[in-house]
Structure 1
Amino acid sequence: MCAKTNFNEKRILTLSALISSGFAMGGLIVGLLVSSLVILFDGMYSLVSLLLTILSLMASRYIQKPSDDEFQFGRAALEPAVIAIKGAVILALVCSSLYNAVVAMFTGGREVDVSIATLFGIVNVIGCGIAWFYMTKLNKRTSSDLIDAEVKQWKMDTLLSVVVTVGFISAWLLTLSPLAEYAIYTDPVMMLAMSFYFLKVPFEMLKSSLREIFMMAPSEDICNTVDQGVIAAGEESEQWVELAAVTKIGRELWVDVDIKAEDNVIAVQDIEHTRRTLHKKLSKLPFNLQLSVNIAT
């Protein structure tokens, strides 16, 4: 990653942390005032997002350090490790909120001041929506797994705020109907619905990052692009060229390729030519390419 891209990544993560801090404080204060599970969850989620963004920012700076005796293959694995921590923490938060919602359902519900809660929800929808849109726009300019994780966090926060606002409007309308006695169950029911929905995003974050940590095969799109690049390089080479292994670790793409000549004799310049051709074919992928060319016997 070039210095400019690295600078942009740090700037975006810092901005995300500052915005998260505001939403975290607002959510926690309003959630406690109106005694709402979903608003408390929203505040806790924003607080966790803030802490995880700070973790991402620290990791972003540390990853840029060159290889040394302790990290002889670089620090690329720290990126999926941070994303795995993010996914695990958010997953734990959602599960905890799900448990509290179930308890509230069986203990008489929760009475909430829907007027304040609705106003807070509207403010949150607008604020989180703007942050999500802006982060998505910046992510298109600066491709990074850490920023992509931030975008997913803001997406969850925006959807959460929308559900909270709609839910409290529904609760207010319910208080005006003959079913007003059931309005106390609106808050835990919303929390239940959101918990089941939001389990997917952190689970996917955790799953994809663990695949990178364990050096498993990357997405099908990446595999197909690499395979096509190797085939094209083989057509331009006098040697037999075959893809041996490919994996993505953070912002790095590791590709191992085997080459073999028909007469078992390969000149050094032929190897270098094949390496340059492969590098050219695979350089269109938005990763730092780590290419290994092995002589097959």
Structure 2
Amino acid sequence: MCTQTTLNEKRVLTLSALVSSVFAGGGLVIGLLVGSLVIAFDGVYSSVSMLLTLLSLAVAKYLEKPQDTRFPFGRALFEPLVITFKGLVILMVVAYSLYSAVIDLLAGGHAIDTSIATLFGLINVVGCGITWYTIARMNRKYPSGLIGAEIKQWQMDTLLSVVITVAFIIAWVMTLTPLAPYAVYVDPMLMLLMSFYFIKVPVMMIKSATREMLLMAPDKEICQRVDQGILAANEMSTQELELAAVTKIGRELWVDIDIIADKNDQIDMQDIEATRQTLEQRLSKLPFELQLTLNVA
């Protein structure tokens, strides 16, 4: 992985951890003060996000180490591993919130201070939206799986804040109408609906990272670009090239290519090296650290 990408990871993860700590403290305090299940969940989610971001920072530092006797194939597998762990933790937080919302609804709901809750929601929307946009923009030039997972976390937090704010405005309006007795159900009902919606984000994180850990084929776009690179290299090579296997593990792209040799022909080592250089030139355009293996078949 290039130095710029590593530095970008550190900047993004450090920024995310600092902002998460601010929202975590604010969400927990305001949630307890106004008696809102949703705001308290937002604070807990931000706290978990901060801890997971610190974990990502530690892993990013660990991934910088070169391969050794303990990890002869490098440490790329730690990236999908930590993303899976983050997805599982977020999934547990959402599942517990779903359970709490159901219990609260069965208990008859509860009243909240909608004025303070709405103000806090507006501040959260602006803060989370700016952070989400900033991190996504920083990830465009030097993309990373760890930062991608961080973007998903902030996307969830921003959408959560928007829904919270809108719901509290609706709850405040309800208190001014004959529907006032039903305003106590807004907070738990909102939490219930959000839990069902947001549960797909950690599930997708886990699914994607698990595919990498199982060395499954990457998505179609990556496969197509690898095929295009091999076809282009085939036109410039004196040997026939055939893709044997391709998989993505974290920030690394592993590509195995067979050189089809005629039984009566001998392949010169210089030809193999020239073919390797051509392939590396073509495939290095992908935003991953290329691990290329050539086999004479």
TM-score category of the 2 structures, normalised to the smaller one: over 0.9
Counterpart in the other structure of 2:241: 241
Q: Deviations over 1:6-25 (max 9, x none)?
A: 12211211111000000000
Given residue 17 of structure 2, which amino acid in structure 1 is its aligned partner? A
One-letter amino acid of the structure 1 residue matched with residue 24 of structure 2: A
CA contact (8 A) 2:259 2:296 kept: yes
CA separation in 2, counterparts of 1:51 and 1:13?
Answer: 11
Q: Do residues 291 (structure 1) and 289 (structure 2) align?
A: no
Q: Partner of 2:273 in structure 1?
A: 272
User: What is the identity percentage for the equivalent residue pairs of Structure 1 and Structure 2?
Assistant: 61
Q: Could you say which residue in structure 1 is the equivalent of 2:224?
A: 224
The list of structure 1 runs, each at least 4 consecutive aligned residues, that deviate by more than 6 angstroms after superposition, is none
Deviation at 1:5, TM superposition (A): 2.4
Number of the residue aligned with 2:159: 159
Where does residue 21 of structure 1 map in the other structure?
21
CA distance in 2, matches of 1:233, 1:142: 26
TM normalised by structure 1 equals 0.98
Shift of 1:264: 4.5
The corresponding residue for 1:207 is: 207
How many Å separate the matches in 1 of 2:286 and 2:88? Answer: 29
Number of residue equivalences: 296
What secondary structure sits across from 2:225 in the alignment? helix
1:260, CA displacement in angstroms?
Answer: 1.6
Superimposed CA distance per residue, residues 167-193 of structure 1 (whole angstroms, 9 cap, x where no aligned partner): 000000111111111100000110011
The one-character-per-residue Cα deviations of 1:137-182 (angstroms, maximum 9, x if unpaired) are 1111321111111111111100000000000000001111111111
Q: Secondary structure at the match of 2:112?
A: coil
**TM-score normalised over the length of structure 2:** 0.98
Q: Which residue is equivalent to 2:50?
A: 50
Correspondence for 1:7: 7
Query: Unpaired runs of 5+ in structure 1?
Result: none
1:143 match: secondary structure? coil
1:260 and 1:266 in contact (8 A); partners too? no
Shift of 1:231: 1.7
Return the alpha-carbon distance in structure 2 between the equivalents of residues 150 and 56 of structure 1: 9
The superposition leaves residues 201-255 of structure 1 with CA deviations (integer Å, 9 ceiling, x where unpaired) of: 1111111011111111001000000011112212222212100000000100000
1:266 is paired with a residue whose SS is coil
CA distance in 1, matches of 2:35, 2:14: 31
SS of 1:176's equivalent? Answer: coil
SS at match of 1:290: strand
SS at match of 1:216: coil
What is residue 84 of structure 1 aligned with on the other side? 84
Deviation at 1:276, TM superposition (A): 1.1
Q: Secondary structure at the match of 1:238?
A: coil
Q: CA deviation at 1:2?
A: 2.1
Give 1:101's aligned residue.
101
Greater mean deviation of Cα atoms: 258-267 or 89-98: 258-267
Distance 1:229 1:141 in 2: 21
Query: 1:3: how far off?
Result: 2.2
Query: What do you get for the CA RMSD once the two structures are aligned?
Result: 1.0
**Matches of 1:209 and 1:2 in 2, distance apart?**
22
